[in-house]
Each structure stands twice: as structure tokens, then as C-alpha cells.
Amino acid sequence: SDAQFVGYGSMLLEGFLATLVILAVAAGIGFGWPAKFGDASGAALWNQLYSDWNTATGTAIGAFVVGSANFLEALGVNHTMATALMGVLVASFAGTTLDTATRLQRYVVQELAATFAPKVSPSAMAAEGYDTEFERGTVGKSLSLNPLVWLTNRHGATLFAVLTAFALALFPKPGDPWTKETIGTGGLILWPLFGATNQLLGGLAFLVVSFWLWRRRIPIVFTVVPMAFMLLLPAWAMLTDVMRWWGKGQYLLVGVALLIFALEIWLIIEAFLMWPKVKGVVEPALPPLKNAGTGQPAAEGGRSC
């Protein structure tokens, strides 16, 4: 399998990219930023750009683009061309992130909808001749007025993910009036949740890995310790922020944060209930995927839609 090579290689490249970003915004920017800071350079430009948090965060992407372009210019690339190249690079990252986020949100929406939507019982499925070895009941696919049934469909879940993101983007960022110039920055409303949510996802990933090891009687101390750290501290930080946001009247942030916290608690409780039952019990192999057109087992590889 190439999973180890691809996985470790991706993380090494991710770390290398992070190092380049730090160099660009810390050292590369010192070569100058004429469009914003005139003739200032070196320590003088640094002191202006990073004089306080508001100034620094307001030019975050611009600092990366200009700093990276300065490096390319030092290698002989025209500054305007270098700036355009780095702008395209940032847009490409944003595009791939948007695609991945939409796909992952679709998976989550489908899973949650399938959990709460009305189901056909395994016994009813068996009566119709379905193989129920890998089924614990399935959502009825007949026409339904229940929105949860619509969201179990990949197209409905994708549409939900896109429309909710679009609706959020129409809002202005916190503190700005609602005008034609300010719409499109609504993502900054939920930006304060990004850090804690990202860490919680890391903790849940450790939880999944711990289960995999536990089923195979492999020592888990190396995953359980960081898992506890990654689940407890970000949750504590998020709850601390919730009280601060409530005091500022940022109720959307509070609502989304509490929803994320509730989902985390739900998953942890499910894990605790399953933990004593799965030690040494390897999960059964999944049946092969079938080609939607022919009904025959599909070839391995390809992209999941």
C-alpha cells in the first residue's frame, strides 16, 4: 500500500509549506511593500506591519503574497509576475480547501440525517430479500416530505452544504454595516471557532486510531494521551470563549460552538459505551463496492463522489 508514503509525505510537505509561510511573512516582507508602506523596509516596515494584532491580522494574506513575491523577485522574477503567481497559488489553496470542506460537510450532513431519519428495519429488509449482514436498517428512499430523508441523498446534502455556506458569506464581518461593499466576508463570523474546532477534529482522529489499535490488542498509550489532551484543552478553551461571546451578543458563534461541543460529547459517549465491547474484536470486512451502472464489483481506486 502507498498510504504510508502518501500520508507521511503529505505531512512533511505541509510542514515545509508552513515553514515557507513563516519565512515569507517574517523575512520576505522585509524587502519592502511599496503599495502599502511606501519606501519602508527592514525593521521599519516590520514595526509598522506588526505594531499590533489588528494591523497584523488585517494584512495576513497580503503579507504572505508580497513576502513570497519578494523572494521570487530576488531570484530574478519580475515583481508583478511574482505577485500574480503567488495570488494564483493562494486562490488554488482556497479552491481546494472549499472543495474538500464541501465534500466533508456533505458526508457529515448525510450521516446525521441518516441517524435521525425514519428507517426501514433490518427485519423488513430481510423480508424483501436484502442482505442485512452489514445493515442495521436503512433510510427509506421512497418519496418523502421529511427533509431529513432528502439530506441522506448526496445531492441534497451537497446542496445544503453549498447554500448554507453561501448564505453565511452574504453577511458582513462582525462590526461592519450591511452594504454592497461589505457582503462576502461572513466567513469571518465563524473564524474564531476555527482553531478549537480544528484541534477537536485532531482529537477525534486520535480516538478513531485508538479504537483501531484497541481492536487489535496493540498498545494505545501513544494515542490515548495526546487524544485526551486534544479533546479536553480545546473544549475548555471553546467554553471559555462561549461565555465571552455571550457577553458580546455574538449569539451565532455561541450557537455553533455549543452545537460542535454537543457533537463532541455525543461521539465521546458513544466511544465509551463501545470501548469495553471491542477489545480484540476486529471489525468485519466491508463488502466490495458495486458499480452503479452494472451492479458488478467496482475496480479499486478512483475518487469518491
pLDDT one-digit tens code per residue, 69-94: 999 999 999 999 999 999 999 889 88
| pLDDT tens track for 174-206 | 778 888 878 888 888 888 898 899 899 999 999
Q: pLDDT band for position 126 (50/70/90)?
A: low
The whole-chain average pLDDT of the chain stands at: 83
Question: Is the pLDDT reported for residue 228 higher than 90?
Answer: yes
Return the higher-pLDDT residue of 268 and 178: 268
Query: What pLDDT sits at residue 140?
Result: 55
How far is Cα 165 from Cα 187, in angstroms, rounded to an integer?
8
Question: Is the pLDDT reported for residue 145 higher than 50?
Answer: yes
Query: What pLDDT sits at residue 183?
Result: 82
Query: What pLDDT sits at residue 121?
Result: 60
pLDDT over 70 percentage in the chain: 85
Q: Which of 37-46, 120-129, 190-199 is the least confident region?
A: 120-129
Query: What pLDDT sits at residue 135?
Result: 46
pLDDT over 90 percentage in the chain: 39
Question: Is the pLDDT reported for residue 209 higher than 90?
Answer: yes
How far is Cα 154 from Cα 105, in angstroms, rounded to an integer?
11
DSSP symbols for the chain: --HHHHHHHHHHHHHHHHHHHHHHHHTGGGG--HHHHTT--HHHHHHHHTSSHHHHHHTHHHHHHHHHHHHHHHTT--HHHHHHHHHHHHHHHHHHHHHHHHHHHHHHHHHHHHHHS-EE-HHHHHHTT---TT-S-EE--S--S-HHHHHTSHHHHHHHHHHHHHHHHTSPPTT----TTTTT-THHHHGGGHHHHHHHHHHHHHHHHHHHHHHTT---HHHHHHHHHHHHHHHHHHHHHHHHHHHTT-HHHHHHHHHHHHHHHHHHHHHHHHGGG-TT-PPPPPPPPB-TTT-SBPPS-S---
The backbone region for 280, taken as left when phi is positive above 0, alpha when psi lies in -120 to 50, beta otherwise, is: left
- Average pLDDT over every residue of 104-111: 90
Question: Is the pLDDT reported for residue 102 higher than 80?
Answer: yes
Comparing CA positions, the residue from 235, 230, 192 lying closest to residue 208 is 230
Domain boundaries, the chain: 1-77, 183-282
Query: What pLDDT sits at residue 13?
Result: 92
Q: Which of 34-38, 140-144, 282-286 is the least confident region?
A: 140-144
